[in-house]
Structure 1
Amino acid sequence: MATAVETLGKLERRITISFPLTDVRTEVEKRLKVQARTAKAPGFRPGKVPLKMVAAQYGYQIESEVLNDKVGRAFNDAANENNLRVAGFPNIVPKEEAAEGQLAFDATFEVYPEVAIGDLTAVEIETVQADVSEAEIDKTIDILRKQRVHFHTKGEAGEHSDGGEPIAANGDRVTVDFVGSIDGVEFPGGKAEGYAFVLGEGRMLPEFEAATLGLKVGESKTFPLSFPEDYHGKDVAGKTASFTITLQKLEWAHLPEVNAEFAKSLGVADGDLAKMREDIKVNLQREVAGRVKARNKEAVMDALIKVAELDVPKTLIAQDSERLAEMTRQDMAQRGMNVKDVPFPAELFAEKAERRVRLGLILSQLVGDNKLQATPEQVKAQIEDFAQSYEDPREVLKYYYSDRRRLGEIEALVLEENVVTYVLGLSKVTTKAVAFDELMGSNAQA
C-alpha cells in the first residue's frame, strides 16, 4: 500500500510504500525452491541440493530481487492511481520507522511540469537566407585546387616552370632547422631539424614567418621572438626568445590547372568543366540549405524558450548531463584520444543539458497539442533526401529502415521540422540575407 502523495516542492513529491514482511518471505521461499531445481553443489546431484544450502548461496540475491520487484511494482501502482507523470527515476530508501511486521520505503521523485506556451502570434523571429553565386563556385574551385597542390624545388627548371627567383616568399613550402633560447639557455620544444611549413598559412608565429621570408637555401638568420601571454607553452608564454633559423629546402606550390583532367579528378567522367561547375553548385546549394535550416531552427528554438514557462525537473537534467558526458568521452575515444583516466564531470554539461531538456518538454507539448507528429510519408521523404548524395540510395533506405533506433532519429528530426514550420507559420517573421562566407562559418545547432 502507499500513503497519500506529499508535495515537497514545485515538482518534487514523496510517497511512502509499505507491505507485509510475510509477503517478502513467502516470495523468497517460492523463488528459492525454483532455484533449487537446478542448483549445483559438490557431492550433490543437480536439483538435490538441500534448501538450506541453496538459501545460503542465493538467499541474499533473491531477497534483493524480490524487494526491488515489490517496491518497483508498488511505486508504479501508486503513481498510476494518482495519475502522476514521473520524471526520471525515484530515489527509494528504507523507512526507519515501520509498523510491526511491515516493510516501509520512502520514494522521493519529480513529476513532469505543466508547460505554458505563450502567444506565438506575438513572437518575432528573424530567419536567414543565402544564395550561391558564381563567386562562391570560383572560391570552392580554388580550395579544391589547393587541396591538390604539389611542390617543386624553387629555382630549378621543371615541367611547369622554375617557380621564379629562389628566395622564400608567401605560398612557398620551406624546410628549416631552428634553435631558440631564452637568456642564453635553450628551452624544451625550441629546437627542430627539417621542420616544414608553408609560408603565409599562419601556422607559425608572425615573427618566425617574417624572418623566414627572403631567405635563400643555406642562409641563416637570428631574430627575437616574443611569445604571446596566452601561448599554449606556459613555460615560455609572455617571454622573448632569440631564434636562429637556417633554410634547408625551398619549394614552390604548383596548383593544378582547371582543365578536363582536374574535372575528372573530381568525379566528372567526361571532364566537362561546365558539368563540374554545376556539380559544385548543387553541392554548395545543398550545404547552404542545411546551414540555413539549422540557423532558422535555432532561431525558432530560442524563441520558444523565451515564450514558454515551465519548471525543469532536476532529475532529467542530471540524467542528460551524464549522457552528454559519456557521449563526449566516446567521441574523443573514437578520434584516437586517450581518455581512460580523464574525468568528465557531468556538471560541466549541465547548462547544455538544461536547454535540451527544456526544449524537449516544450516540443512535446507543442506536438501533442497540435498533432505535429512525423508521418511515415515525411520520414520516407527525409531519408530519400539524405540518399541523394550517395551512390546507392537504396542502401541508405535499407540502412534506416532496418534499425528502429535509426528510424527514430529521422522521426525526431522530422518532428522538429514540423514544429519549426508550425511556429514560423504563426509568428512574425523577418528574413535577412547573409553572406555565403558568414553562413558557412557558423555552427548553428539546436
Structure 2
Amino acid sequence: MATAVETLGKLERRITISFPLTDVRTEVEKRLKVQARTAKAPGFRPGKVPLKMVAAQYGYQIESEVLNDKVGRAFNDAANENNLRVAGFPNIVPKEDAVEGQLAFDATFEVYPEVTIGDLAAVEIETVQAEVSEAEIDKTIDILRKQRVHFHTKGEAGEHGDGGEPVAAEGDRVTVDFVGSIDDVEFPGGKADGYAFVLGEGRMLPEFEAATLGLKVGEAKTFPLSFPEDYHGKDVAGKTASFTITLQKLEWAHLPEVDAEFAKSLGVADGDLAKMREDIKVNLQREVAGRVKARNKEAVMDALVKVAELDVPKTLITQDSDRLAEMTRQDMAQRGMNVKDVPFPPELFAEKAERRVRLGLILSQLVGDNKLQATSEQVKAQIEDFAQSYEDPREVLKYYYSDRSRLGEIEALVLEENVVTYVLGLSKVTSKAVAFDELMGSNAQA
C-alpha cells in the first residue's frame, strides 16, 4: 500500500510505501527452494544441499532482490494510481517508525514539469545564409595544394627550379640546432639538434622565427627571447633567455601545379579541371548548408529557451551531467589521452546539462502538441542524404537500419528539424548573409 502523495516543492514529491514482512519472507523462502534445486556444495549432490545451507549462501542476495522487486513494483503502482510522471529515479530509504510486522519506505522523487510555451508568432529569430563563390573554391584549392607540398634543398637546381637565393625566408622549412640558457645556465627543454619547422606557420615564438630569417646553412645567431607570462613551461614563463641557433638545413616549398595530375590526386579520374572545381564546389556547398542549418537551429533553440516557462527537474540535470562527464572522459581516452586518474566533476557540466534537459522538455511538448514526430519517410530521406558523400550508399543504409540505436539518432535529428521548421513557420524571421570565412570558422551546436 502507499500513502497519499506529499508535495515537498515545485517538483519534489514523497510517498510512503509499505507491505507485510510476511510477504517478503514467503517470497524469499519460495526463491530459496527454487535455488536449492540447482545449488552445489562440497559433499552433496546437486539439488540435495540442505535448505539451511542454501539460505546461508544465497539468503542475503535473494532477500535484497525480493525487497528491490517489491519496493519497485509498489512505487510504480503508486505512481500509476496517482497519474505521476516521475522524472529520473526515486530516492528510496527505509522508514524507521514502521508499524510492527510491516516494512515501510519513503520514496522521494521529482515529477515532470508543466511546460508553457509562449506566443511563437511574437518571437523574432534571425537566420543566416551564405554562398560559395569562385573565390572560396580558389581558397580551397590553395589549401589542398599546401596539404600536398613537398620540399627541395634551396639553392640547388632541380626539376622545379632552385627556390631562389639560399637564405631562410617565409615559407621555407628550416632544420636548426639550438641551445637556450637563462643567467648562463641551460634549462630543460631549451636545447635540440636537428629541429625542423616551417617559417611563418607560428610554431615557434616570434623572436625565434625572426632570428632565423635571413640565415644561410652553417650560419649561427645568438639572440634574446622573452617567454610570455602564460607560457606553458612554468619554469621559464615570464623570463628572458639567450638562444643560439645554427641553421643546418634549408628547404623551399614547392606547391603542385593545378593541372590534370593534381585533379587526379583529388579523385578526378580523367584529370578534368572543370570537373575538379565542380566537385569542390559541391562539397563546399554541402558543408555550408550543414553549418547554416546548425546556426539556424541554434537560433531557434535560443528562442525556445527564452519563450518557454518551466521548472527543470534537478534529478534529470544530475543524470545528464554524469552522462556528459563520462562522454568527455571516453572522448579524451579515444584521442589517446591518459585520463585514468583525471577527475571529471559532474558540476562542471551542470550548465550545459540544464540547457539540454530544458530543451528536451520543450521539444517534447512541442512535438506532442503539434504531431511533429519523425516519419519513416523522413528518416529514410535523411539517411540517403548522408549516404551521398560515400562511395557505397547502400552500406550507409545498412549501417543505420541494422542498429535500432543508430536509427534512433537519425529520428532525433529529423525530429529537431521538424521543430525548427515549425517554429520558423510561425515566428518573425529575418535573414542576414554571412561571409564564408565567418561561417566556416564557427562551431554552432544545439
- Please give the TM-score of this superposition, normalised by the length of structure 1: 1.00
1:159-194 CA distance string (max 9 Å, x none): 100000000000000001111111111111111111
Deviations 1:114-145 (A, max 9, x none): 01101111111000000000000000000000
Q: CA deviation at 1:340?
A: 1.1
Give the drift of 1:231. Answer: 1.0
- How far residue 235 of structure 1 moved from its aligned partner, in angstroms, is 1.2
SS in 1 for 2:31: helix
Shift of 1:197: 0.4
Q: How far does the alpha carbon of each residue in 1:86-128 deviate from its partner, in whole angstroms, 9 at most, with x for none?
A: 0000000001110010000000000000011011111110000
SS in 2 for 1:248: strand
Per-residue displacement from partner, 1:253-310 (whole Å, max 9, x unpaired)?
0000000000000000000000000000000000000000000000000000000111
The alpha-carbon deviation at position 344 of structure 1 amounts to: 1.0
Distance 1:180 1:348 in 2: 40
Q: C-alpha distance in 2, partners of 1:233/1:413? A: 44
Q: 250-259 or 175-184: which moved more?
A: 175-184
Counterpart for residue 206 of structure 1: 206
Following superposition, the deviation at residue 229 of structure 1 comes to 1.1
Tell which deviates more after alignment, 87-96 or 334-343.
334-343
Task: Report the Cα offset of residue 237 of structure 1.
Answer: 1.1
CA drift at 1:54: 0.3
> Greater shift after overlay, 344-353 or 61-70?
344-353
Q: Percent identity?
A: 96
SS in 2 for 1:343: coil
Corresponding residue for residue 432 of structure 1:
432
Spell out, residue by residue over 1:344-395, the C-alpha distance to the aligned partner (whole angstroms, 9 max, x if none): 1111111111110000000000000000000000000000000000000011
Q: Secondary structure at the match of 2:399?
A: helix
Aligned residues: 446
CA distances 1:287-341 after superposition (whole Å, capped 9, x unpaired): 0000000000000000000001111111001101111111111111111111111
Scaled by the length of structure 2, the TM-score of the pair is: 1.00
> 1:44-89: per-residue Cα shift (whole Å, max 9, x none)?
1111100000000000000000000000000000000000000000
Q: Report the equivalent of 1:145.
A: 145
What 5-or-longer segments of structure 1 have no aligned partner? none
> Residues of 2 paired with 1:117 and 1:412: CA distance?
21
Secondary structure in 2 matching 1:299: helix
Secondary structure at 1:191 match in 2: strand
Detail structure 1 runs of 4+ shifted over 3 Å in the superposition: none
**Correspondence for 1:42:** 42
Alignment-derived partner of residue 322 in structure 1: 322
Q: CA deviation at 1:31?
A: 0.3
CA distance in 2, matches of 1:160, 1:256: 10
Shift of 1:239: 1.1
Q: CA deviation at 1:242?
A: 0.9
Equivalent residue of 1:290, what SS? helix
Aligned with 1:410: secondary structure?
A: helix
Task: Give SS of 1:271's match.
Answer: coil
